[in-house]
Structure 1
Amino acid sequence: MDPIVNTNFTQVDWSEEVASAARQLISLAIREDVGDACDWTTRCLVPPEAQGSVAIVARQVGVVAGLTVVPLVLEEMGTLVEYRPAATDGDAIERGQTLATLSGSAADILTAERVFLNFLGRLSGIASLTRRYVDAVAGTRATVYDTRKTTPGWRMLEKYAVRCGGGLNHRLGLHRAVMIKDNHVALAAQEGLTLKHSIELVRENLATAGAKVEALEVEVDTLEQLEQVLAASPDIVLLDNMKLDELQRAVAMRDSLAPTVALEASGGVNLDTIGDIARTGVDRISVGALTHSAVALDVGLDWRGSPAAG
């Protein structure tokens, strides 16, 4: 991984919504690791009274996310372990850096180890990859967004990790925002609805239901479609798989016809292309790879002996 130079990101809020999602996953993780029995290796080899001290250590350069999950794991497992963080979620970290220390029951530490390291590795991998994308658009107006291409059940935590990396969250679910995608457009066309009419119908139905959503977004893949959509002034228009010159023309069209509408580029976005895409003047770039292709960051546990021995 390339060195990560941007460290000037604000601390990410750890909401009760994220914590609740974490607790559900933690419960499942413990159940699949311990089952309805126990950690037999530790039970057979480690005396119940044995004490230990360990450090959670980064094996790679990256951005940490998931430290806030560790005490929840320890709590859920009923451990007799003291947790002391040495870093904060969202921090840029170096190889060999101590992220936290734990001390107390050696058996409890050993049994909980893999559960909390799995959370840390997965979430830090997402945060680290996100930071690379964010760094790649530095100096432009574009911001990096995730998508709904998340691991089932992990969405809240994975989107939290994206924020730790400096990215922003697209809609958290179908219930939070309206996005008229290509298949919606195709089905609407069968009913004789234009893009403009589809947007008007959505607004009418939301008003009738008394529903409030975060945004109304429409996906287009041609400049002709964009011109139609801009006439209805949605909050966001997603420009799907457009070439660089098309994106530039789309920005000019938006600036002329509906300057308050945000433009989002999507499709064909990777670390090699995102800089050029950002320089076209789009406001947002959505990247599914942040969550569906991130590789876990290598995080390990270093044994430091008994607390008395230091």
Structure 2
Amino acid sequence: MIDYARVGADELLENDLRMLVRLSIAEDLRDAMDWTTVCLIAPDRQGGCQIVPRVDGICAGLATLDWIVDEFDASLEVQCLQQDGSPLVAGRPMARLTGNARDLLTCERTILNILSRLCGVATQTQRYVEKIAATKSRLYDTRKTTPGWRLLEKYAVACGGGHNHRSGLYDGFLIKDNHLALAGDASGPILASRAAQKALQWRGANIEQLIAPAIVEIEVDSLEQFRDVISTHPDIVLLDNFSIEELRTAVAIRNQDNSAVELEASGNVNIDTIAEIATTGVERISCGALTHQATWLDLGFDWFDETLS
């Protein structure tokens, strides 16, 4: 199996997270202060809160909590009570923060915004994964992500049991219909097989410039195109908006050819259709709904008086 790297809680994720937090700070404070908190809360007041899910779900984003607190320069201690990827139970705390009460109030909304979004994506992903658990198909995200949130949302997909597709245009070759059209000439688009051959040749000649594994994938939208391209043996062929019967036919053609090419179904994938798609024998199913249709998980701050604990 050839695949893209899984997005983890590494320095790339930290860098993106910190940029988002800086934007959140600018949105909330604009080089000023949280005047309500400054007015009402003594500067040395201590407090504590627990981050508590109001509904069941999947945990994602706790790995970012220390980074958020640090970016706020907040005098807070963070205690994670769950792990990213673990089930969340309504009413059972996932993390605890204690320290300066002003800092807690100032960073509350940013923390909840980020964790609610990531837990929502992870929970959505887990629902889809459950639908295909009895098959050999793997679930993949897409680049249909919130601008600026690409790695964070892909991290959440991984927490929910999904797989990460390419993180960016730098991350391999994915030849689509517009590439075929624009690489053609007056006689029409370039053949899918010719485009795949060019990408494979280019990869071989420029491998040192590329980020491993530099997958070559090509999108086709008909069985005729699929038959044209399968003999070139790209790493993956993406079957775009194929019917169930067309997917089964493509799998049969690939198997008859004894090819190692993996097949990816895309288009019209939702919670109601994914199970049947997986029965066709495709190895991969990509779904933009994991990110662009995920709803936030309802999380809250449950406060307690740290001075009395």
Which bin holds the TM-score, normalised by the shorter protein?
A: over 0.9
CA distance in 2, matches of 1:114, 1:101: 15
Aligned pairs for 1:1-310 (under 5 A) are: 13-190=8-185, 193-210=190-207, 211-213=209-211, 214-305=214-305, 307-310=306-309
**Which residue identity lines up with residue 210 of structure 2 in the other structure?**
K
Structure 2 stretches lacking a partner, 5+ long: 1-5
What is the CA-CA distance between 1:188 and the residue it aligns to?
A: 3.2
CA distance in 2, matches of 1:89, 1:122: 13
Moved more, 42-51 or 19-28: 19-28
What is the CA-CA distance between 1:171 and the residue it aligns to?
A: 0.6
What is the CA-CA distance between 1:64 and the residue it aligns to?
A: 1.2
**Conserved 8 A contact 2:7-2:151:** no
Q: Deviations over 1:29-70 (max 9, x none)?
A: 111111110111100000001111111000111111111222
**Conserved 8 A contact 1:84-1:100:** yes
- Residue number in structure 2 paired with 1:5: none
**Percent identity of equivalent pairs:** 46
What is the CA-CA distance between 1:24 and the residue it aligns to?
A: 1.1
What is the CA-CA distance between 1:190 and the residue it aligns to?
A: 3.0
- Residue number in structure 1 paired with 2:3: none
**SS where residue 295 of structure 1 aligns?**
coil
Q: Deviations over 1:228-258 (max 9, x none)?
A: 1111000000001111111111111111125
**Conserved 8 A contact 2:78-2:98:** yes
**SS where residue 75 of structure 1 aligns?**
helix
Please give the TM-score of this superposition, normalised by the length of structure 2: 0.93
**Which residue identity lines up with residue 232 of structure 1 in the other structure?**
T
CA distance in 2, matches of 1:101, 1:173: 35
**Conserved 8 A contact 1:266-1:286:** yes
**Which residue identity lines up with residue 67 of structure 2 in the other structure?**
L
**Which residue identity lines up with residue 277 of structure 1 in the other structure?**
I
**Conserved 8 A contact 1:81-1:102:** yes
What is the CA-CA distance between 1:197 and the residue it aligns to?
A: 1.3
**Conserved 8 A contact 1:233-1:258:** no
**Conserved 8 A contact 2:240-2:266:** yes
Moved more, 66-75 or 44-53: 66-75
What is the CA-CA distance between 1:97 and the residue it aligns to?
A: 1.3
What is the CA-CA distance between 1:179 and the residue it aligns to?
A: 0.6
What is the CA-CA distance between 1:308 and the residue it aligns to?
A: 3.5
**Which residue identity lines up with residue 103 of structure 2 in the other structure?**
D
What is the CA-CA distance between 1:12 and the residue it aligns to?
A: 7.9
**Conserved 8 A contact 2:217-2:237:** yes
- Residue number in structure 2 paired with 1:4: none
CA distance in 2, matches of 1:52, 1:95: 23
Q: Which runs of 4+ in 1 moved over 6 A?
A: none
Moved more, 111-120 or 192-201: 192-201
What is the CA-CA distance between 1:178 and the residue it aligns to?
A: 0.4
What is the CA-CA distance between 1:99 and the residue it aligns to?
A: 0.5
CA distance in 2, matches of 1:156, 1:217: 21
**Conserved 8 A contact 2:138-2:162:** yes
**Which residue identity lines up with residue 159 of structure 2 in the other structure?**
C
**Conserved 8 A contact 2:200-2:234:** no
**SS where residue 280 of structure 1 aligns?**
coil
What is the CA-CA distance between 1:293 and the residue it aligns to?
A: 1.1
What is the CA-CA distance between 1:191 and the residue it aligns to?
A: 6.0
What is the CA-CA distance between 1:221 and the residue it aligns to?
A: 1.1
**Which residue identity lines up with residue 262 of structure 1 in the other structure?**
E
